[in-house]
Amino acid sequence: MKGLIFAALVVALSGAATAQAPLPFVLNQVGPGVYAAIDGPEHKAGSNAGFVIGDDGVLVVDAFFTQDAARALVAEIRRLTPKPIRYVVNTHYHADHTGGDQALRDAGAIIIAHRNVRGWVRTNNITLFGDRITPELKARIEALPLPDLVTDKDLTVWLGSRRVVLSTVLGHTGGDLTISVPDAKVLFAGDMLWRRIAPNLIDGSVKEWTATDAAFMRIPDAALTRYVPGHGDVADVNDVAEFRTYLLDLKRLVGEGRKAGLKDDALARNVAPKLRALHPDWTISDRAIAAEVRYMDQELAGTKKRPIPAAD
Ligand SMILES: [Zn+2]
């Protein structure tokens, strides 16, 4: 017993206790020096992230929801390479992807994002949580770091001789970037792709979104490409097609319900079992489906509100 307490004390003092805590994500190598960090089954990381190790540094994709999760990612990177962490690219402003940015900045990274993220990250994230916002979360959102380097055009980042291409894409928020590593045939799709999980449409346009996913299916070497989604496991081009079909099914079913005169809860109750029957192996919570139907209904009615870009 004494020995046990002593061992626990040594662990606590050496700081090894945190290193031994289970990771909130699963690291999955998707190419040479390219890793996806997939949110664990308890969803403690909040979303997926990843990183690319180049000749002279590391580029991280997204920062999870918490600084703790982001620090765990930094520790995993440090385990694999001594090269400096030079960049973190946020795929969009949502807090489940930007919440850990400060930990990446503390590790030396420059924060890169779409130009619209600066205007949205500290404000629209409060709306994102709706009635689930707490004073603590609100304060955390209002203190999120703003991106250092922004773009509204495609951007190439060179990690020595390794080319990483950031592309602006439409559909999810109006300020999304994808990150591709052509030499490894990996595309970090952010929330333009969800694998077998109902997506969050709060800021989205299904019309634009399905067009972007169609473009993902046409990239060179699509059949050989690993697509890293914002949520769900590492995907292939068939998963991209299935996700796009999910969005199109949602659109069609909501359209049919609207034609039958259904509204609000009645519309959601009509669509939910049909959508679930079409995608039986998907995780579709009651809350998610109610929100999806409402947002799809608004898009079809032409009343959907989307984030408005702020002036610099
Ligand atoms: Zn997300």
**Per residue in 62-82, pLDDT tens?**
999 999 999 999 999 999 999
Task: Work out the mean pLDDT of the chain and round it to a whole number.
Answer: 94
Answer whether residue 33 shows pLDDT above 80: yes
Mean pLDDT in residue range 148-154:
98
Q: What is the pLDDT of residue 20?
A: 61
Distance CA 55, CA 58 (A): 8
Q: Do you know the residue count of the chain?
A: 312
For the chain, what is the radius of gyration of the CA atoms?
20
Q: What is the pLDDT of residue 21?
A: 76
Ligand 1 centroid to Cα of residue 66, in Å, is 13
Q: Nearest CA to 137 among 190, 99, 169?
A: 99
**Per residue in 34-49, pLDDT tens?**
999 999 999 999 999 9
Mean pLDDT in residue range 108-129:
97
Ligand 1 centroid to Cα of residue 299, in Å, is 20
Contact present, 186 and 280 (Cβ < 8 Å) = no
Contact present, 295 and 198 (Cβ < 8 Å) = no
User: In 10 A of CB 196, how many CB atoms?
Assistant: 18
Q: What is the pLDDT of residue 304?
A: 97
Residue 3 pLDDT grade (very low, low, confident, very high; cuts 50, 70, 90): very low
Ligand 1 centroid to Cα of residue 24, in Å, is 16
Mean pLDDT in residue range 234-242:
98
Which residue is it, tokens 């909130």?
A: 24
Q: Nearest CA to 217 among 236, 191, 195?
A: 236
Distance CA 166, CA 282 (A): 29
Q: What is the DSSP letter of 182?
A: G
Mean pLDDT in residue range 102-121:
98
Ligand 1 centroid to Cα of residue 94, in Å, is 6
Residue 9 pLDDT grade (very low, low, confident, very high; cuts 50, 70, 90): very low
**Per residue in 276-286, pLDDT tens?**
999 999 999 99
Ligand 1 centroid to Cα of residue 225, in Å, is 21
Ligand 1 centroid to Cα of residue 64, in Å, is 9
Ligand 1 centroid to Cα of residue 199, in Å, is 8
Mean pLDDT in residue range 232-238:
98
Contact present, 226 and 240 (Cβ < 8 Å) = no
Q: Helix (H, G, I), strand (E, B), or coil: what is residue 38?
A: strand
Per-position DSSP letters for 79-92, written without gaps between them: HH--S-EEEEE-SS
Q: Nearest CA to 180 among 282, 7, 80, 30?
A: 30
Q: What is the pLDDT of residue 253?
A: 98
Q: Which two tokens stand for residue 184?
A: 């490894």
Mean pLDDT in residue range 123-145:
95
Crossing angle of helices 206-217 and 286-301, rounded to 10°? 100
Name the β-bridge partners of 53.
Answer: 58
Q: Nearest CA to 48 among 241, 179, 207, 223?
A: 179
Name the β-bridge partners of 166.
Answer: 155, 179
